[in-house]
Structure 1
Amino acid sequence: MRKKAILCNVKVIVALVLFLVGPISVFSQKNKKKENDTEIAKDSTFSKKGKKYNDLVKKGTVKKGLFNIIQVKTDVYFEIQDSLFEREFLIVNKLSQVPFQVNDFGFNKGMNYENKVITFYKDTVAKKVWVKSYLPKVSSPKEDAITASVKDNFSESIIEVFDIETKNNDSTSVVIKVNKIFDGKQKSFNDVLSNIEFGGSVLSNLSYIESLKAFPKNVVVKSQLTTSVSEGGPALSVTLGVTSNIVLLDKVPMKPRFSDKRIGFFTEKHWYFADAQQAMVEKELITRWRLEPKKEDEERYLKGELVEPKKPIVYYIDPSTPKQWRKYIIDGVHDWQVTFEKAGFKNAIIAKEPTEADLDFDIDDVRYSVITYAASQKSNAMGPSVVDPRSGEIIEADIIWWHNVMTSLQSWMRIQTGPIDPKARGNTFSDEHMGEAIRFVSSHEVGHTFGLKHNMGASFAYDVESLRSKEFTAKMGGTAPSIMDYARYNYVAQPEDNVTAITPKIGEYDKYAIEWGYRWYSNNDNERLKLNAIIASHQNDPIYFYGEQQGEVVDPRSQSEDLGNDAVKASEYGLKNLKRVVDNILDWTYDKDQSYYETAKLYIGTIGQWQLYNRHVLNNIGGIYLNVTVHGDNKQSYVPVPAAMQKRAADYLVKNAITIPQWLFFNPILDKTNPLKDSPLGPYEYTPYTLARELQCGILNDLLGDDRLLRMTENELYQRNGTKEKVFTVNELFKKLHQQIFAPTILNKSLTILERMTQKNYVDILIVSTNKIFEKTDPKKTVDLHTLSMPQLCTYMQDGEMIRNINQYSLKRVTEVTSDKKGELGKVLQLLKSKKNTGDESTQNHYTDLIQRIEKALSNTTF
């Protein structure tokens, strides 16, 4: 089983420590030691060692910087100035080299796998330097009585200790030997194996410190660390190149900005204690760059003039990036300029290739934000950041760009836009066409490094019919109001519409989000009121709606890969285009004397897109619109999807999913190849019957899931404002499914193979799900069914992002769901018994089998 990288959802340690004005962290009040360097000088042992400093410098090489690094052969020493003791540092650990085996697990150069805040303390009595770490997550006012308790209940932990080897000649610094924290002997500063889920320990005899660099605010140490991995076979040596940055944090952290659930930023949690409270206050700080006007431009900025920031955000392009793609990646970054102009800054972001002027450029140096190009078979891209957890300040961005991301882009474009764009049909695209797709992905990933989360609700703002309008799409410039949605290409537009603006672009929501997150306010301004005013001015316009990413989709407005405000209509248009793709797959993938590999891959991609449409529609059934509300906005927090929409969704599924489409699964393509999916074991072919059966089973399983049916029951029970508005009930759903699935049985017809397959899937889902209600197992555990999906980007961002969790797990055994499912099984049993002697032999055998299954299931159910 392939291990999953935990790097994909990069969350740096946690929240703010020091507030610029007001409450401050108790950890800034560190005990000052009475001893000083003169006491060290008086110590006879240190007097004897007085020569050692000069000997070290004479024998070794010295690199001056934050810590002077002294290297004597293989021994490495840090010279730490007294002024740096009790300052806070951030350790940032990254992968810089990986062997084939690790690459195959999904780990690549540039990935940030571990960060922690540390502080060095000098102990002149024990002649040691202690290193402590803590989570900068708690604050209290310095003068409050509770601060003493906060200090004791959220204290630092000792993670490392060093002997003081010597001191410099004027007694303003001490020297410690640091080999053990970088060569793998100790895990205190760098625990790479645990953080990438390899476990085990570093083999010190096969590991070494590779290189060292010192700069004014950070030091960079590169190491080669080797471990031994054995998974049922002979032991295998695996060597990882790792880079540790030790970065000096500012004495005064950036002024934080508190999050608002109505707009999507990544956050760091922070706890505030104070004597005046009746309960602790938890707040979330958004992650963002420190962007502020120069001192001389502040007045102009506050008057509304565009000014250049004191320090722009700079991204470097990895020199290993193929030359033909560099321009498009840079353009994708620069596309965000317009959003920062909305926040009052011009020339706020710069993307460039490193030049000879960048003498110290190093991809692994935390001073440089780099779009790293990874040679890998992985088809993905991601855009995490390194964050100062005290304030949410983004220090550096780590965008990882996997080479094979282009395979996903090509698949999307061929399937979603091939019918309306001849440039998107061949096995290979022109550099220009692929370049524009790369530009879109670059914009999306860079958006994450500005602190923006996915906004899966953005695409719901556009009416489906407007996506067929050449004028509308040209005006809006994209498929959704936000590049941070997973709104891919315009699969709604039909060939006769002549729509040409079919690629996702920066939208109005993006401008709004950047303005809210990055507009600068002077200390005297009431920032919170002004930020609330920005949201309030847009709260009734769907273009500015934020829909958070979900695990199990409860709110169908916030779905991945969908378009428009009507999933049924959008999917119907999508199916029309999908039929055109299927009709042309053999022609579009033709390559003389080549295998049908490209044909098979495109074919399975179209099936995946069909299943995607099914799920977009399905999630409207039992769906609830989840609105982030505040006092005074007169909005409802929970609004059931209208009954009419739910009924249309059920009709769509009956027609296009539960009834297996012959044009998709049984067509001339099968004379040449089966659908094919790549796997770690090589290409894997699916037969059409097996694939159709599994995908249909997956749809039925999700459609009849307990949580979905419980939400439908809740909606029936609780009707808004006491009105008797129409609802779509569980019984109506079962009736609709029953009438369709057993229609030929009711008419005494012989059943086809696919009709028998559908009845078996339906009955099996009811039996399995009913029995599982009574199992003494984890109530959240579900049936593990094979699913087929389109490739996605930023998968790392999906983990841990579900915030709204509607709890439907308690006591399912005694809910209406149990009664409804057993009731439906009883009706099916009664029908089958009355029809068991109708139809041909295969049909009668099928009925006998189902009758026996249902009777056994109902008799075995334990109460």
Structure 2
Amino acid sequence: MILKKAPLLTALICLPFSGIFAQKSRKHSRNIQKDSVAAAKQDPKDSASQSNPKSYQTLLKNAKTQSGIFKVHQVENDYYFEIPLSLLEKDFLLVNKISSVPMAVNELGVNKGMNNNNKVVRFSVNRLAKTVWVKTIDPQVESPEGDAITSSVRDNYIGSVIENFKIETWAPDSSAVVIKVNKVFDGTEKSFNDVFDDLTIGGSAKTALSGIEQVKAFSQNLVVRSLLSTSFTGEGSAYPISIAVTTNLLLLPEQPMRPRFGDNRVGFFSTPRWYFSDSQQKVETRELITRWRLEPKAEDRQRYLAGELVEPQKPIIFYIDPSTPPQWRPFIMQGINDWQKAFEAAGFKNAIQAKLVTDSADFDVDDVRYSVVTYAASSKSNAMGPAVVDPRSGEILESDVIWWHNVMTSLQYWMRIQTGIIDSAARKNNFSTQQMGQAIRFVSSHEIGHTLGLKHNMGASAAYPVDSLRSPAFTSRMGGTAPSIMDYARFNYVAQPGDNIKEITPSIGVYDIYAIAWGYRWCGVDSNPWKEWELQKKWIAKHQNDPLYHYGEQQDSRNVIDPRAQSEDIGDDAMKASEYGLKNLRRLVPQITQWAAEPGDSYEQAGKLYMAAIGQWETYANHVMSNIGGYYLENPVAGDGKNAYTPVPKSIQQRAFNYLKDQAFKLPEWLFAPDLLAKTFAIQSSPVGSIEYGPYSIKRNKQYDLFYNLVSDSRLARLFEMESVYGSDKVYTAATLLKSIRNAAFAPTLQARSLSIDERTTQQNYVDVLMVSSDKLLEKINKRAVAPNLPQHCDLTPGAFRQSENSLRSINVTSLARTSAVSAAKRGELVRILNILEKSKTQGNEETQNHYLDLILRIRKHLTMD
């Protein structure tokens, strides 16, 4: 299969472009890259039209013509755009959307509805060359009209020409220019769309196997659908790949929306903006949040400002893809409509609406005039909510939720593993429509939150005390597991049998309502971003000490800095929450075959549920581990009394280690019950089929991963950072951590007894982790795989991570890693272990002595001591 040979696709967040708006009370240029339209409006008979080989009537004699933003003429297989001179130098947004994909690309997570490689372009006439040029514009900078620095800004931030078209003819009244556009849509040129490079497939389209399938012209945009074909070569074989791409050319609003500045204490996606002026002593840098343009109608503005709910001039409307199975449509629509209460807090009623497609004649899910929940037939278990943004202001013009059919697989495993013990309806292989529908509803709400501009708030769940999650009154009053639907606070795994918890899923909460009001409340026609910024800071200050309103930026799951902002966790104490979770997991494991295999069924589904249970055990361990070497991260401002960096208290880090020693260093025996293993091993689904894992392999692999993460370079480096600032007596230290692991792993050796196979595995894993990680520490270059520029806000695979590292806050502890204390600590630990082994090599039975000799040889060779 191609899937096995294509590069791994790691999806990224596609950050919106920059914005433009008027600054304070001064008059600003609307764009610093302004070209003259006047030249193009001169008499065309003086230039290109005199040299055209064909007249307008001759060229387009047999054309089929559509009228829209441009006239589109089709002459057999050739397409011509008739661009009015009035639209030259206007801002257009070029949006490329995936419309259909082959199986190999589908299995890599690329599906219909994704957009990529969006860019702002302008058309201009180059009279000397008798061509139309297309320039890309990146409106990230702005300066006041009339300031001396503005001429320098224009010279230093010009647009770049990406394409040119021969002028084929002019309109009879000289009001428009006609160009042939085939080459930018049929794969000949990559200037408008470079889909294969964007997907890291590489290569160019084969023009003989590619072409334009359809062009539609509308009043504000054009839609061009193309089929582009190439081949991917891997391991000496070539594999054909064809992808249908729909390109939208959308005229941006003449008057951009008034933007709003971002604040890193509220989680909105944003785009950078730089302001230059003569009065500055340094350039002013801002972030503009991405949001829809919600404004009261002119006749309702005074009522709105008086506090009355009014309908917006243009509501946010999401259409449900007609290919969505009918039984799930109501639940997806409920997930959308649930956001009504958040917009009411911003002063708007009926601001967001979900609709079915009743007239498909003029409906196209790839048309950027429509925001659509696009249903993707795929085995991938995921959902996401990217947006198309006006780069000049941060205005969301259109959003899509990409809904993979197999998302229900993840939902089912989560509910069975996390809540099956307290909810009998969440046990069987197939749920009722209502049971699955409610889970679909919460995923729908989460993804719609992204389309509204909200980022993940992984710190929200830390606002709830763990024991409160066992309270029916508390969970009913708060509406679930966290104060934000934008957390990955999946289901309530803390609740125990007999607690009678009913609210076990996340829902739109206190933080979400607050964030929408903060980003969307309209402040009047006379307002500007700087005035609004002062109001926004006051809104934050009202709640700055309330944990329900805390924003915890998502962490890289491979390197969590702030243990409060983790994926998949709930509650304010990872150790206590995980202990409750383990109690339920221990109750569940003996029932796996009963839950997942009806009479006459194979045990494959039981094996997959068993793998999910092991994964949940691992998730609990990782939640706890993140406290070791962790910092509580804040974004303080002067006067709020907060610190930016607070080491996790020493006592909490010690509790975290104790949990790992008791619950994770040796995988619990109940997780590998012989009665269960007689029926099924743990089974993992994969693109090549189901893979069965034996218990010994599972134990080795899971324990190895745990040790590797526990003594990771970044974790140890953060412990050394804490020690250097606060002193070894005030913080949990790297030396304490390594010594504690050693004492736990080599306790049976120090007791001079024979080792079991699991005890030997523990020592092998720890020694190997120290050797491998110290080798990597000395590497000079850390090569990273290239990732495609695709929008991705979520990955529903437990523990997965699908955001650009550069988009997340972190602490850089990697500089000069080879000279840090980490290398010395790991090598010193190996020497201490070697001393223990040398003294013990003749103790125990034959298997134990062989094990000691093997470790001695490995360590000595690694340290080049022979």
TM-score range, shorter chain: over 0.9
Q: Trace 1:848-863 onto structure 2 (pairs within 5 A).
A: 848-860=853-865
Q: Trace 1:83-94 onto structure 2 (pairs within 5 A).
A: 83-94=86-97
Inter-partner Cα distance in structure 2 for 1:412 and 1:578: 12
Inter-partner Cα distance in structure 1 for 2:41 and 2:305: 48
| 3-state SS, counterpart of residue 192 of structure 2 | coil
Report the equivalent of 1:192.
Answer: 195
Inter-partner Cα distance in structure 2 for 1:383 and 1:407: 19
Cα displacement (A) at 1:27: 3.6
Preserved CA contact (<8 Å) 2:33 2:159: no
**1:559 aligns to 2:566 (yes or no):** yes
Report the equivalent of 1:745.
Answer: 749
Cα displacement (A) at 1:41: 3.6
Give the counterpart of 2:401 among 399, 402, 409. 399
Instruction: Please list the CA deviations of residues 458-506 of structure 1 after superposition, one character each: whole Å capped at 9, or x if unmatched.
Output: 0000000000111101111110000000110000000111111100100
**1:804 aligns to 2:809 (yes or no):** yes
Inter-partner Cα distance in structure 1 for 2:40 and 2:741: 82
Give the counterpart of 2:520 among 493, 497, 518. 518
Structure 1's 363 and 123: CA in aligned 2 closer, same or farther, altered over 3 A? same
Preserved CA contact (<8 Å) 1:455 1:548: yes
Q: Could you tell me which runs of 5 or more consecutive residues in structure 1 were left unpaired when the two chains were aligned.
A: 782-789
Structure 1's 616 and 48: CA in aligned 2 closer, same or farther, altered over 3 A? closer
Q: Trace 1:774-853 onto structure 2 (pairs within 5 A).
A: 774-778=778-782, 791-792=796-797, 798-800=803-805, 802-853=807-858
Structure 1 stretch displaced more, 22-31 or 238-247: 22-31
Instruction: Please list the CA deviations of residues 568-606 of structure 1 after superposition, one character each: whole Å capped at 9, or x if unmatched.
Output: 000000000111110110100112222211011000000
Preserved CA contact (<8 Å) 2:386 2:399: yes
| 3-state SS, counterpart of residue 439 of structure 2 | helix
Inter-partner Cα distance in structure 2 for 1:316 and 1:643: 52
Report the equivalent of 1:203.
Answer: 206
Cα displacement (A) at 1:510: 0.2
Give the counterpart of 1:216 among 209, 216, 219. 219
Report the equivalent of 1:262.
Answer: 265
Instruction: Please list the CA deviations of residues 330-377 of structure 1 after superposition, one character each: whole Å capped at 9, or x if unmatched.
Output: 000000000000111000001111112x64111110000010000111
Preserved CA contact (<8 Å) 2:684 2:692: yes
| 3-state SS, counterpart of residue 90 of structure 1 | strand
Inter-partner Cα distance in structure 2 for 1:363 and 1:671: 50
Structure 1 stretch displaced more, 797-806 or 404-413: 797-806
Inter-partner Cα distance in structure 2 for 1:243 and 1:44: 32
**1:531 aligns to 2:536 (yes or no):** yes
Report the equivalent of 2:688.
Answer: 681
Preserved CA contact (<8 Å) 1:165 1:176: yes
Cα displacement (A) at 1:31: 3.8
Inter-partner Cα distance in structure 2 for 1:688 and 1:627: 42
Cα displacement (A) at 1:179: 1.5
Preserved CA contact (<8 Å) 2:211 2:227: yes
Inter-partner Cα distance in structure 1 for 2:266 and 2:48: 63
Cα displacement (A) at 1:682: 1.8
Q: What amino acid maps onto 1:464 in structure 2? A: V
Report the equivalent of 1:420.
Answer: 422
Q: What amino acid maps onto 1:105 in structure 2? A: L
| 3-state SS, counterpart of residue 765 of structure 1 | helix
Inter-partner Cα distance in structure 2 for 1:448 and 1:621: 31
Cα displacement (A) at 1:694: 1.2
TM-score (norm 2): 0.94
Structure 1's 46 and 501: CA in aligned 2 closer, same or farther, altered over 3 A? same
Preserved CA contact (<8 Å) 2:231 2:241: yes
| 3-state SS, counterpart of residue 172 of structure 2 | coil
Q: What amino acid maps onto 1:713 in structure 2? A: F
Instruction: Please list the CA deviations of residues 607-646 of structure 1 after superposition, one character each: whole Å capped at 9, or x if unmatched.
Output: 0000000000001011110111111111111111111111
Q: Trace 1:719-758 onto structure 2 (pairs within 5 A).
A: 719=726, 726-758=730-762
Report the equivalent of 1:663.
Answer: 670
Preserved CA contact (<8 Å) 2:383 2:796: no
| 3-state SS, counterpart of residue 282 of structure 1 | strand
Report the equivalent of 2:790.
Answer: none
**1:324 aligns to 2:323 (yes or no):** no
Report the equivalent of 1:277.
Answer: 280
Percent identity, aligned pairs only, is 53
Cα displacement (A) at 1:250: 1.4
Structure 1's 796 and 62: CA in aligned 2 closer, same or farther, altered over 3 A? farther
Aligned residue pairs total 849
Structure 1's 733 and 37: CA in aligned 2 closer, same or farther, altered over 3 A? closer
Structure 1's 546 and 709: CA in aligned 2 closer, same or farther, altered over 3 A? same
The answer to which structure, 1 or 2, has the higher relative contact order (CA under 8 A, 6+ apart) is: 2
**1:368 aligns to 2:360 (yes or no):** no
Preserved CA contact (<8 Å) 2:40 2:125: no
Report the equivalent of 2:382.
Answer: 380
Report the equivalent of 1:652.
Answer: 659
Inter-partner Cα distance in structure 1 for 2:584 and 2:389: 44
Report the equivalent of 1:784.
Answer: none
Inter-partner Cα distance in structure 2 for 1:800 and 1:16: 27
Inter-partner Cα distance in structure 2 for 1:61 and 1:185: 23
Q: What amino acid maps onto 2:629 in structure 1? A: G
Preserved CA contact (<8 Å) 2:384 2:402: yes
| 3-state SS, counterpart of residue 778 of structure 1 | coil
| 3-state SS, counterpart of residue 766 of structure 2 | helix
Structure 1's 454 and 535: CA in aligned 2 closer, same or farther, altered over 3 A? same
Give the counterpart of 1:717 among 721, 724, 729. 724
Structure 1 stretch displaced more, 577-586 or 824-833: 824-833
Preserved CA contact (<8 Å) 2:167 2:178: yes
TM-score (norm 1): 0.94
Q: Trace 1:609-624 onto structure 2 (pairs within 5 A).
A: 609-624=616-631
Structure 1's 765 and 349: CA in aligned 2 closer, same or farther, altered over 3 A? same
Q: CA RMSD in A?
A: 2.4
| 3-state SS, counterpart of residue 270 of structure 1 | strand
Instruction: Please list the CA deviations of residues 742-771 of structure 1 after superposition, one character each: whole Å capped at 9, or x if unmatched.
Output: 222222221111011111112222233334
